[in-house]
Amino acid sequence: MPLDTILDRNATLDRIHETLEEVGYVVIERAADSETMDRLDADFDPYMNAVPLGATDFAGYRTRRINNLLAKSAACGELALHPLVLGICDRVLLPYCVRYHLHVTSLIELQPGERAQGLHRDGSIYPVEFPSIPMTLASFWACTDFTAENGGTSVVPGSHRWAHDREPRAQEIVSTVMPRGSVLLYTSNLIHGSGDNRSNGPRRGMALHYNLGWLRQEENQFLSLPPEIARNLPEPLQRLVGYDFGAPYLGFVEAGHPLTLLRASTQADMARTSPEADARAAAIKPIVVREG
Tell whether the torsion through CA atoms of 120, 124, 130 and 133 is positive or negative. Answer: negative
DSSP state of 215: S
**163 and 109 within one domain:** yes
**92 and 173 within one domain:** yes
> Is 292 within the bounds of a domain?
no
CB 36 within 8 A of CB 81: no
Structural domains in the chain (count) = 2
pTM for this model (two decimals):
0.95
**86 and 22 within one domain:** yes
CATH for 39: 2.60.120.620
**184 and 262 within one domain:** no
Quick: pLDDT tens for 231-247. Answer: 999 999 999 999 999 99
291: helix, strand or coil = coil
Quick: pLDDT tens for 90-123. Answer: 999 999 999 999 999 999 999 999 999 999 999 9
**259 and 196 within one domain:** no
> Which pairing describes strands 25-29 and 6-8: parallel, antiparallel, or unpaired?
parallel
> Is 163 within the bounds of a domain?
yes
**163 and 34 within one domain:** yes
Quick: pLDDT tens for 170-222. Answer: 999 999 999 999 999 999 999 999 999 999 999 999 999 999 999 999 999 99
**46 and 89 within one domain:** yes
Cα separation, 40 vs 80, in Å, equals 12
Cα separation, 239 vs 234, in Å, equals 9
- pLDDT, mean of residues 32-39: 98
